Amino acid sequence: MRFSGLCSAIVLLMLSGLAQAEQSGWALFDKVQTAVRQYNFDTSFVVLKGGKADTYRWIHGRSGDNEIEHLIPLDTNGVDILRRDAQVYYLLTDRPAFVTEASSIAELPALLFEAKDNVSKLYNAVAGSSSVMSGRSAQLLRLTAKDSGRYHYWLWLDDETGFPLRIDTLSEQQNALERWLVTHMQITAEFPDNLNALMAAELPPAASAVAAATPQSSHQLNWMPQGYQQVSNPADIPQLGGSLLSYWLLSDGLHQVSVFVQNAQRMPTQAYRDGATTIYVETQNQLEITVIGPVSIDTARQLAGAVR
C-alpha cells in the first residue's frame, strides 16, 4: 500500500512538473508575440538555408492603435515590403505596388504572429535552458510537433524583452533545416523616425478580390496531413499558364503546401529540399505531380500518391 501510494505521488509530481513546463513555455510564446507586435524596433537578421544566406532589415513601430513595419532586403534581388495595419504593400521598382490585406508580412516567421490557440493545436511548448547569444542572455523555447512529419522549432528569446534572437527549424531527426538569426537589434521607446514618412504617405488601396482561375478537373486529393485543410480560393499562378490541370493549396494555419498536377514531361521522380521547403516531383498515369511546402519528403510522397 505504501509503495503504491509512493508511486502515485511520483506520477502526480511528474505530471505537475510537465504541466508547469508547458505553462512556462506558452508564457514565453506570449512574450515573444508581444515583443514583435508592441515594441518600436530596428533590427537586422539573416536567413540561413541550403548553403545560402539572405539578409534583411526589419523596422517596426506602433503609435496608439496604428502599426507599421518595413521589411527591407539587403540583397539586390529582393522586394521592399511595407505593412500598415491590415494592408501589405510590395513596393516594386518597375511596376505599381502590389497590395494585399493581411495582419502580418508572410515573409517573416509565421510563428511570431499566428494565434496561440492555433499553434497549441499543433505543438507542445516547453521552456529550455538559458544561454548567452550575441552578448545577450537568451531563453530557449522548444515547440515540439504533436504529429509526425511536421517540423519542430527552437526559439531563443532575449531574456529582458522577449524579442526573438534566433529560430531554428528542425526535422524529425532534430537536424537544423533553416536558421533565422538576428544580427542587430535596437528597441526604443520612441517611434522610429524613418517610419514617420511611410505612415503618412499616400498609398494605393488593396485591389478587389479576384476569383482564382483554378482549373476544373476530375482529379481528387484523397488524403491530407493531420491538421491541414484545403484553402478554398487559392491565388492564381500565372507562371504555370495553361499547363496546370489541377491545383490544391493546403494550410494548417502556420504552413502552406501546394500540390500541382500537369501533363507528364517524362521526368524521373525527384525529391530535394531548399532549407525547410521540400520539392517533390512524381510521374504517374501520364501525369506529373509536384508537391512544394515545409513538410517531410515522406509526407510529400504521400500527398502525391493521394492524387486520383
Residue for cell digits 545577450?
Answer: 136
- Which pLDDT belongs to residue 103? 93
**Assigned domain for 7 exists:** no
**Number of domains within the chain:** 2
**Assigned domain for 249 exists:** yes
Would the CA dihedral through 250, 213, 291, 219 be positive or negative? positive
Q: Is the pLDDT of residue 121 over 50?
A: yes
Please tell me whether residues 78 and 120 are part of one structural domain: yes
Please tell me whether residues 52 and 111 are part of one structural domain: yes
Q: Is the pLDDT of residue 149 over 70?
A: yes
Q: What percent of the chain has pLDDT over 90?
A: 64
Domain that holds residue 247: 229-305
- Which pLDDT belongs to residue 268? 86
Please tell me whether residues 113 and 180 are part of one structural domain: yes
Please tell me whether residues 132 and 54 are part of one structural domain: yes
Give me 138's grid cell.
537568451
Give me 290's grid cell.
509536384
**Assigned domain for 210 exists:** no
Please tell me whether residues 233 and 175 are part of one structural domain: no
Please tell me whether residues 259 and 187 are part of one structural domain: no
The pTM for the full model equals 0.86
Higher pLDDT, residue 137 or 285: 137
**Assigned domain for 82 exists:** yes
Please tell me whether residues 51 and 173 are part of one structural domain: yes
Residues 6+ apart with CB under 8 A from 186: 41, 42, 43
β-strands 244-251, 40-49 pairing: unpaired
Give me 264's grid cell.
507528364
Rounded to whole angstroms, the Cα distance separating 271 from 296 reads 10
Rounded to whole angstroms, the Cα distance separating 24 from 165 reads 19
**Assigned domain for 212 exists:** no
Q: Is the pLDDT of residue 244 over 90?
A: no
**Assigned domain for 207 exists:** no
Please tell me whether residues 192 and 67 are part of one structural domain: yes
- Where does a domain end: 150, 182, 200? 200
**Assigned domain for 152 exists:** yes
Residue for cell digits 482529379?
Answer: 219
Please tell me whether residues 245 and 172 are part of one structural domain: no
Please tell me whether residues 52 and 174 are part of one structural domain: yes
Q: Average pLDDT for residues 20-49, to the nearest whole number?
A: 93
Q: Which of 276, 29, 15 is nearest to 152 (CA)?
A: 276
Q: Residue 143: what residue type?
A: L
Please tell me whether residues 195 and 246 are part of one structural domain: no
Alpha-helical runs (H) found in the chain: 2-38, 116-122, 193-200, 297-305
pLDDT band at 206 (very low <50, low <70, confident <90, very high): low
- Which pLDDT belongs to residue 15? 44
What backbone phi and psi angles, to 5 degrees, belong to 24?
-65, -40
Average predicted confidence (pLDDT) for the chain: 87
Higher pLDDT, residue 72 or 217: 72
- Which pLDDT belongs to residue 211? 47
CATH of the domain at 258: 3.30.200.100
CATH of the domain at 183: 2.50.20.10
Least confident of 10-19, 92-101, 259-268, 294-303: 10-19
Q: Average pLDDT for residues 288-296, to the nearest whole number?
A: 94
Please tell me whether residues 50 and 192 are part of one structural domain: yes
Q: Is the pLDDT of residue 127 over 80?
A: yes
**Assigned domain for 41 exists:** yes
Task: Write the pLDDT tens digit of every residue in 12-33.
Answer: 444 455 556 678 999 999 999 9
Give me 126's grid cell.
516547453
- Which pLDDT belongs to residue 158? 97
Higher pLDDT, residue 237 or 39: 39
